[in-house]
Each structure stands twice: as structure tokens, then as C-alpha cells.
Amino acid sequence: MIMIGTKELAIKLRQKNPCMTLQAIGDKCGVSRERVRQILISEGIETKHIDTGTKYYCSRCGDRIFDPYTRNKGTKIPKKLCHSCSYEWHHVKVVCSVCKKIFIIKTSDLIARTAKAKSERITCSVACRNIAKTKYDHLFKHIARDVSKGMSIRHSCIKYHIPLGYQGIISKRMIKLGYKLRRPID
């Protein structure tokens, strides 16, 4: 029978079972836990054991979750993901449809924005959103001409296939830009 030295046995036990404590390895080898720690450090092996006493590890990356519960109305709900994996899971990178900048948005906010939006334009800021809303600017002079001829803004917007939800925005923007939106008095 081949005898294995204390050093080789300690290394083999740590590699075979990373959950063993230094004390447990020392008891098997017949040395103190400090001697086991010295052996593992000299070989460049991790001295800390994996704590399986707590079953709270991230299901995605395997890191330990130190605050394992979220509280919801007084009930404890165990977390499945660590903080960084949870952030990555609940956020997504999106390209702004106006300035083409990449930005990060919560998945729930993205779903809400796409549900509300009349078009599929997703913007990174209020400034880009305002630019996106002005996609009918090229029609302002035509609408103003129609209104001066006696047509209502509503009918003019329908004529140019502008969605009904944009009529108020268009009229406010046209007034802000100085267009006259009053019908001539007969």
C-alpha cells in the first residue's frame, strides 16, 4: 500500500471536497487546521470552504446570496438571483430610435412604453421623445393652409393620415411655432 504524505492528502481532500473545513481536513490528516491552511496557501489553493449550510446561492452565477429574502407584505420570499444577476435579468440594452445612443432600461418600463406608444419608437430621454413626436413637422404648412381655407384641424389631420392621438400635440406645437390656426371669418 502506498502511503500518501500529509501535504498531498490535504491538497487531495480540498480538491475532492471543497466543502470540507480546514479542521475536518486536519483531523483526517492528523495535523492542525493552521498547518492545513499553510499547506493550501503554499500550493495556491483557496483556504475558505464552500458553506453549504446555507442553501442561498445564485441560480445563475453560483455566488452566495447574503441577504437571502425579500419581504413582501410581511412574508419572506427566498431570492433566486444575486444582486448583479438580478440587475442584468431585469434590465435590457436598447438603442434610441432618434439619437441611436445605447441605453439601459428596466424590462417592465420597456413593455409599458411599447404598449403605450403609437409607434415602435423607443427614446432615451424627454428631448429625444419630443423630437420623435415632431415627425409630422413637414405637414405643418399643409395643415395651416387647409385651416386657412376653412377646413378643421381634425379633418386636415385625417387627410394626411395623422393618428387622432397626435392632433392635440400637433396643434400645440404649431401654435408654439407661430402658425395661425384660426379659420378666416366670412
DSSP for 55-100, please give it: --B-TTT-PBPSS-EEEETTEEEE-SS-HHHHHHHHEEEEE-TTT-
Report whether 93 contacts 107 (CB < 8 A): no
pTM: 0.40
Cell 395623422 -> residue:
162
Using the CB atoms, write b or e for 37-55: b if 16+ within 10 Å. Answer: bebbeeeeeeeebeeeeee
Cα 146 from Cα 161, distance rounded (Å): 14
Least confident of 60-64, 118-122, 158-162: 118-122
Residue 69's Cβ-side half-sphere holds a number of Cα atoms within 13 Å equal to 8
Question: Which pairing describes strands 91-95 and 102-106: parallel, antiparallel, or unpaired?
Answer: antiparallel
Confidence bin at 1 (pLDDT 50/70/90): very low
**Residue of 14 and 55 predicted with greater confidence:** 14
Q: Assign 31 a pLDDT band (cuts: 50, 70, 90).
A: very high
